[in-house]
Amino acid sequence: MGTSYPSYVRFEPRSQTPDFADGIGARVHDPLWFLARQWQMGEHQGENASTPVWLDYDVSSRPVQYPVPAFDPRVVPAEALVESETDDWWTMGRRLRAGAAIASARNLPDDASLRFADPPAPYEHFTGFVDGLALWRRRADLGLTDADFPATVPAETIPAWDASNLVYQQTPESAFTAPGLTLQVSGHRGGRMDWYSVDAVGAADPAVDHEARSAVPTRLEYPGAPLAGWWEIEDPAQDIGAYAPDSSHSATAIMTELYFSHSDEWFVFPVMGTAGSLLAIHDAAVQDSFGRNYASMDADGAGNLLWPGLLPPQDWTVFQTDGLAAEDLLLWHVAEIPLESGAVERVQFGLDDESNLLWAVERVVEGHQSRGWQAESPAARFNAGSPNGNKTQRRVYAYLPGDGAAPHWIPYDIDDLDQAGALIQRRLVDYSRQVPEPMPLPQSRVLSGGPEIHRINPSSMPGNGIEVERRWQLARDMNGLPVLWLQRQRRSLLAPPARRLRFDVVEPANYE
């Protein structure tokens, strides 16, 4: 069988001149062809025949308020108002200065709880010094007044940390407000706050003054955007799919298709607003390059709106907050890239199927890595010593009532008496000693439920576990003044912590 060689013929235009400038310039020499091309692209239908050149709109702004009048959300970052803890104004420097000033002026009792026991680095040198915060908390018992302290202690924010769900959850009494609305932070895990951090309850006050404004719309531009003209040569170095998140994400793929298919139909205009306010656009009127006007409230004889595209969509929007109208946009004054300290506390949580417990492990407490612990007068162990190692001797076994208890491991289990089925904090006991030794109580504030025993909602705990960190955050308010607070941030773990507890153990006996 013979071998066949397929061949193809391709027609290419041949320039009559060696100068390629005319071809690269893409000059149109046939007006009829150009009109036919415009008809083919649908440009004669007038859909893309004009461009918006002027916009008149009405806007309203409602200030966001905080229950404590001393704090203004238009000045103080929202994160500081929501995440602040009680007494977080008391930095180590203020605690030392206040303690030293009062100790030199008053006769204080010889009470170890009024002094630093194990201060974090780099304050180890101040072990045993008087703690000003301890004096402030017990000022009534010690006969101290506010005037005895060298500095004026400012007002406190309302703590929003929900110890049972390990998130920030405001109550209606501690929530932000706007005219006619309650803006309640719900399920905030720490970190940056924005419009999506709150849910609105109530009906907005319609008696808000509207302000008429004007603007010049401009074409939307973004990295990797295609050129607006049909006959412009694209820059091959621009690729919208190369910008995070990449094109492997379905949301980005949808938006990419939308941008490329309607790249020349997106226009933006500036709307000036004040941080810490609720902004809304009510009416809009557009004038195009042909002098035609389009108003958002224009309607036909039947009452149907002629230009619904000038109104915010009611079925779906990108920046709509639950409980707010589609035209409302919540503008927060946020802490942009605040300075943060090392972890003051780090506590990990995880469900342990083998032990049938929820473990809370204190990894960092008061800036220190969790360390071992030993009682002042520990009892002897049941099976003390070390293995003999002589395999020729007869094996001897020892009995242990229990094994596996360790400090900084705090167990939680279901409380049968709790109708909600909450996980209640327990305490390990070391049964490997001849006198049972209870493990120390939790030292971190994350595991403190206040005056009551700490409880955790089981539905707040994922299977892979979580980690809660406390860190100092330093930002600036709108006036340039520093704002310092302690933040708790919740993160997911790759794997939950687990520990093996054994009871009624028989193991090879050790020898002294």
Tens-digit pLDDT profile for residues 86-107? 888 888 899 999 999 998 888 8
Classify each residue of 114-123 as buried b or exposed e, where b means 16 or more C-beta atoms within 10 Å of its C-beta: bbbeebbeeb
Domain boundaries, the chain: 21-50, 90-153, 340-508
Q: What percent of the chain has pLDDT over 70?
A: 85
Scan for tokens 């909600």, then name that residue.
420
Residues whose CB is less than 8 angstroms from the CB of residue 49 and which lie 6 or more positions away in sequence, other chains included: 43, 290
Q: What is the model's pLDDT at position 180?
A: 87
Q: What is the model's pLDDT at position 361?
A: 95
Nearest to 129 by CA among 85, 94, 88: 94
Q: Tell whether the model's pLDDT for residue 170 goes beyond 90.
A: yes
Least confident of 305-319, 349-363, 445-459: 305-319
3-state helix, strand, coil in the chain (%, to 5): 15, 30, 55
Burial class (CB in 10 A: 0-12, 13-18, 19+), 288: middle
Q: What is the model's pLDDT at position 202?
A: 84
Q: Tell whether the model's pLDDT for residue 131 goes beyond 60.
A: yes
The stretch 369-387 carries a mean pLDDT of 75
Q: With bands split at pLDDT 50, 70 and 90, how would you rate the model's confidence at 66?
A: very high
Least confident of 7-16, 137-146, 172-181: 7-16
d(CA 174, CA 172): 6
Q: Quote the mean pLDDT of the chain.
A: 84
The stretch 223-245 carries a mean pLDDT of 64
Nearest to 116 by CA among 367, 468, 439: 367
The stretch 184-204 carries a mean pLDDT of 88
Least confident of 50-64, 238-252, 292-306, 317-331: 238-252
d(CA 88, CA 90): 5
Q: What is the model's pLDDT at position 490?
A: 96
Pairing of strands 429-430, 437-438: antiparallel
The stretch 63-91 carries a mean pLDDT of 91
Higher pLDDT, 305 or 451: 305
Q: What is the model's pLDDT at position 31?
A: 75
Least confident of 196-200, 261-265, 428-432, 460-464: 261-265
Nearest to 160 by CA among 225, 241, 66: 66
Q: Which pair of structure tokens corresponds to residue 236?
A: 């091959």
Q: What is the model's pLDDT at position 36?
A: 78
Scan for tokens 């203004």, then name that residue.
72
Q: What is the model's pLDDT at position 286?
A: 94
Q: What is the model's pLDDT at position 510?
A: 72
Q: Tell whether the model's pLDDT for residue 24 goes beyond 60.
A: no
The stretch 363-390 carries a mean pLDDT of 77
What distance lies between CA 37 and its chain's CA centroid? Answer: 52
Q: How far apart are the first and last CA of the chain?
A: 93
* Angular region, 99: left φ>0, alpha ψ -120 to 50, beta rest: alpha
pTM equals 0.79
Q: Tell whether the model's pLDDT for residue 226 goes beyond 70.
A: no
The stretch 243-269 carries a mean pLDDT of 70
Evaluate whether 240 touches 221 at the Cβ level (below 8 Å). no
Q: What is the model's pLDDT at position 231?
A: 61
Burial class (CB in 10 A: 0-12, 13-18, 19+), 369: exposed
The stretch 40-57 carries a mean pLDDT of 76
Classify each residue of 31-57 as buried b or exposed e, where b means 16 or more C-beta atoms within 10 Å of its C-beta: eeeeeeeeeeeeeeeeeeeeebebbeb
Q: Where are the alpha helices (DSSP H) in 106-186?
A: 132-137, 139-142
Q: With bands split at pLDDT 50, 70 and 90, how would you rate the model's confidence at 290?
A: confident
d(CA 211, CA 202): 24
The stretch 402-431 carries a mean pLDDT of 87
